[in-house]
Chains A and B, each alone.
Chain A
Amino acid sequence: MTLDRFAGALVLLALAVTAPARCQEESPARYLGVPLAEALGDLQARGLPVIYSSDLVRPEMRVRKEPTASSLHRRLDQLLAPHGLKAQVGPRGTVLVVLRDPEPILVAIEQPTPFQSVFERVEVKALVMTEEPIRKVDFYLGEELVGSLTQGPFHLEVAVGEANIDREFRVEAFGRWGGFGKAAAMTRRVEIEAEMEVALKQLFVTVDRGNRPVLDLGRESFTVFDGGERQTLVTFERGDVPITAVVLLDASESMKGRYLEAALAGSHAFLATMGRLDEALVMLFADRALAVTPFSGEAAILARGLDGVFAGGGTALNDHLYASLRLLDRTQGRRVVVLLSDGADVLSVLRMRDVLWKVRRSDALIYWIRLQEKMQEFSSAWRDFRGNRAEWQGLERAVKESGGEVRSLDEIGQIRPAFEEIMAELRGQYVLGYYPTRPRSDGAWRPVKVVVDQPGAKVRFRAGYIDR
């Protein structure tokens, strides 16, 4: 390809965003507020062979939201969705307007959070995600219906009493087209031993030999050093500590098409293997968050929260990695961020050293599935070559310090196995607990070291923590 052809191809990509310097300009059609039938008529006039019945597209129906898509088919979908209708391929290339099937409604309880202790009055905040209009949302405390709301925000103040007991909150959402969804959250009584628990340090340790996990070690095989001093293990488990994960997927322009599809398929595989007590939140990001699900243990609900997201924009990896770590603060169980990206940060306001500050104060493990082996040298609007290289190396360092791992892939077919291997690794991790012999709470970095008595075994663990 000559330089001209190459330049031409790139310019073609940019045409969509470049205002033409014509002597005349034309304005796009606007539909908001016009009868739906009229909007469909306009699409027909523009060449889309739409067929609909006046029973479904009634005269009183008006366009509720301006469609934003450029293709006629996508515009039709956007026009129909708010009315419980959808487009379906008809005979001889026609497009039929039909009723949408009721779909599950995504519901999550954002407050109270699981394992939180609640007394007296608590505001229950339910997140209801659906395109379907909501008929009602019922709130239950145990088996008792404590309130019902018909429009958002679905926040309800509930009197729970002063007893120090476990409580179950349930929320059930009913859509006007027959959709249904529910969520539950258990709050816990205050444990008297809670003060002791605060000081317990947990280390998540991966042991392998020749890239094969070593899963049969006992407590006596491990020696832990904290600040250079040998520690006494008070708890020892393997694999069965619940996981709370953020699956952070890069959906920037370069991930468009089959890359994003493969990333989503891989994350679905990861979510499908979650255990009964595991929870995850999935975030798709580019230069801003494109979709964020609530924390949920239901893989199907998480998958649905990502419907209809299109890749585009630049990559603000640092900002969203920091946000992921922040969202994992004070969550239960093993905290994990699984990041998938085809490149490094380009646009974040936070630098990697800011994120590293957080990594050192978080217990979360970070896994980075990256779709390139080596960093491509590049200069960008926000950083020169040296700056971009520093960010890339900083991310590698953050992953290593967290006790996680970088997995470099050669091709997209390896994405799904990578997600599955990470879940398998988490299931095979040893969880070592100890009370530091000399806690200082001085805000200083305390290096940690784990040694196993297995010749040839490789051990991976968090490099240390900030003693707060």
Chain B
Amino acid sequence: MRALRIALAVGLPLALLIPEDGAEARRRRFDKRAFKLEYRGALDRFARGQAEGALRRLVELESSVAAEAESDLDPLWKAKLSVIRDLLGSSPELLVPVSQLHEQAYLAYLERGAYLLAGHSRALTMELAELYSERVPGSRGDRVASEVMTSMAGHLHAAFVHSRAAALYRRAVELDPSNGAALLGLAAVLERQGEYERALPLLRNMVKIAPGDAEGRLRLAVQLIRVGDPEEAERVLSALIDEKIKEPRWVFSLAYQELARLLIDREEFDRAVEVIDAATRALRGDPTLPILLTYLSDRARRPSGKAELTSALREAGRAEADSPRYRYSQMPRQALQQLRASLRGECAAQLPLLAEALSEEPALASAGGG
């Protein structure tokens, strides 16, 4: 009680002396002109190939604006969009590198635990993608915007933020129905939510667009089993197994495993042993296959050694890579990596355009506008 009295006596007068710190005061303190100049500086560094320095400058600049709610970041949003719209007169293509810088800022904020700014950067990246699809005519506009959306969806997917990832993947597919990474990503999210019937048509599309994509074919076969079409699943899996080059290995391991599972369900243990025996020879060092082979040998009343099982289990402990079944439960990485590589190429190609636009812009006069 005594402590409370002291706190009241000392704290209240002190509180009256503390300067006003509400949203209104922060808005008043935000110097739009200086911010826009600094922002242009960050973009300029990025345009000149100094990706790390540009990111550092942008993060420092945005972090210096005190924010406790999303609305506190409205002035930043407006200022940045104003700079970007001024630059757009030169070419909408420069939106690609700008969106990439903001995607990087999103990751940097997450790393620092600055979630408000991370959400802000994610929203701005999406806004720039939409702007790009509006401004760039024809399929290119939609394709690149769809790629930017997919890349961002991939970050959310990797972090198990499934509903948001699904929303971005969906928009990416709307923009470009032939975006394989988005189709695969959305299907993977739906299958994780137990929505097998909804995942199936996406995977059928994916396989039609990219018949050589092994992961797409595997996921299609798994969905076919789940919706009760084992015959078609067996055809897809057998065709996959017959491929000469068995890469990526985890996909092929699972193709063998899922085919064996179909045979287990039909109690065809001898055939299942043959399938997994062939898999073990084709994919040495796989951690799941020896256990499955031992089980199948047990069921088929064939001899299988305990020493071999022990040694395979120990071998699994030394393996560096994730197990195939774990790998499947993660988001589809390969298609996303290819998409991001393509985006990096687009980004690098448009950097000179951004540099040129920034050099043409009158430095101080227009920096205050918008």
Contacts and interface: CB of A to CB of B under 8 A. Distances in A.
Interface in A286-343: 286-292, 294, 309, 313-314, 316, 319-320, 322-323, 326-327, 329-330
Nearest to B306: A327
Contact of A349 (B193, B261, B313): B261
B197 to A, nearest CB: 11
A10 B310 CA distance: 36
Contacts of B30: none
A125 B307 contact: yes
A288 B100 contact: no
Contacts of A9: 113, 115
B337 to A, nearest CB: 6
Interface stretch (B8-16, B170-178, B342-350): B342-350
Nearest to A357: B299
Interface stretch (A14-22, A95-103, A210-218, A224-232): A14-22
A348 to B, nearest CB: 7
Nearest to B104: A22
Nearest to B52: A24
Nearest to A318: B291
Contacts of A2: 115
Contact of B110 (A12, A348, A350): A12
Nearest to A319: B291
B325 A347 contact: yes
A13 B107 CA distance: 11
Interface in B327-347: 328-330, 333, 337, 340, 343-344, 347
B329 A17 contact: no
Interface string A218-260: 0000000000000000000000000000000000000000000
Contact of A316 (B110, B323, B340, B343): B323
Given A11-B158, A289-B313, A379-B192, A323 B340 contact: no
Given A10-B161, A21-B104, A357-B299, A346 B313 contact: no
A316 B337 CA distance: 27
B274 interface: no
B179 interface: no
Contacts of A13: 159
A349 B291 CA distance: 9
A358 interface: yes
Interface string B287-318: 11001101100110000001101100110110
Contacts of A24: 49, 51-52
Interface string A1-44: 01011011111111101111111100000000000000000000
B317 A4 contact: no
Interface stretch (A178-186, A380-388, A415-423, A452-460): A380-388
B51 A22 contact: yes
Contact of A346 (B287, B294, B329): B329
B316 A326 contact: no
A198 B194 CA distance: 48
Contacts of A319: 288, 291-292
**Size range of the chain A interface in the assembly:** 35 or more
A99 B79 CA distance: 61
Contacts of B49: 23-24
Contacts of B306: 326-327, 329-330
A130 interface: no
A283 B287 CA distance: 14
A18 B337 CA distance: 9
Contact of A323 (B196, B291, B348): B291
Given A21-B100, A316-B325, A381-B188, A7 B159 contact: yes
Contact of B291 (A21, A125, A350, A381): A350
A292 B326 CA distance: 20
Contacts of A330: 306
A10 B160 CA distance: 7
B191 A381 contact: yes
Interface stretch (B86-94, B148-156, B231-239): B148-156
Contacts of B319: 288
Given A349-B291, A382-B328, A8 B113 contact: yes
B156 A327 contact: no
A279 B83 CA distance: 73
A445 to B, nearest CB: 16
A330 B309 CA distance: 14
Nearest to B114: A8
Given A23-B351, A125-B307, A327-B309, A18 B155 contact: yes
B110 A4 contact: no
Contacts of A110: 307, 310
Contacts of A125: 307
A185 to B, nearest CB: 13
A131 interface: no
A220 to B, nearest CB: 39
A20 B104 CA distance: 8
A384 B307 contact: no
B322 interface: yes
A354 interface: yes
Interface in B43-78: 49, 51-52
B119 interface: yes
Interface string B31-53: 00000000000000000010110
By Cβ-Cβ distance, the 6 closest A-B pairs, closest first, are: A384-B194, A8-B115, A288-B287, A381-B329, A11-B159, A14-B158
Interface of A: 2, 4-5, 7-15, 17-24, 68, 110-111, 125, 283, 286-292, 294, 309, 313-314, 316, 319-320, 322-323, 326-327, 329-330, 346-350, 354, 357-358, 379-382, 384-385
28 contacts: A8-B118, A9-B113, A11-B161, A12-B110, A14-B155, A18-B158, A21-B151, A21-B343, A22-B344, A23-B51, A23-B100, A23-B344, A23-B348, A286-B326, A287-B323, A288-B323, A289-B287, A291-B317, A292-B317, A319-B288, A320-B291, A322-B294, A327-B309, A347-B326, A354-B264, A354-B295, A358-B298, A381-B329
Given A8-B119, A11-B118, A289-B317, 11 more contacts: A4-B116, A8-B115, A11-B110, A15-B111, A19-B337, A22-B100, A24-B49, A287-B322, A292-B310, A347-B323, A382-B325
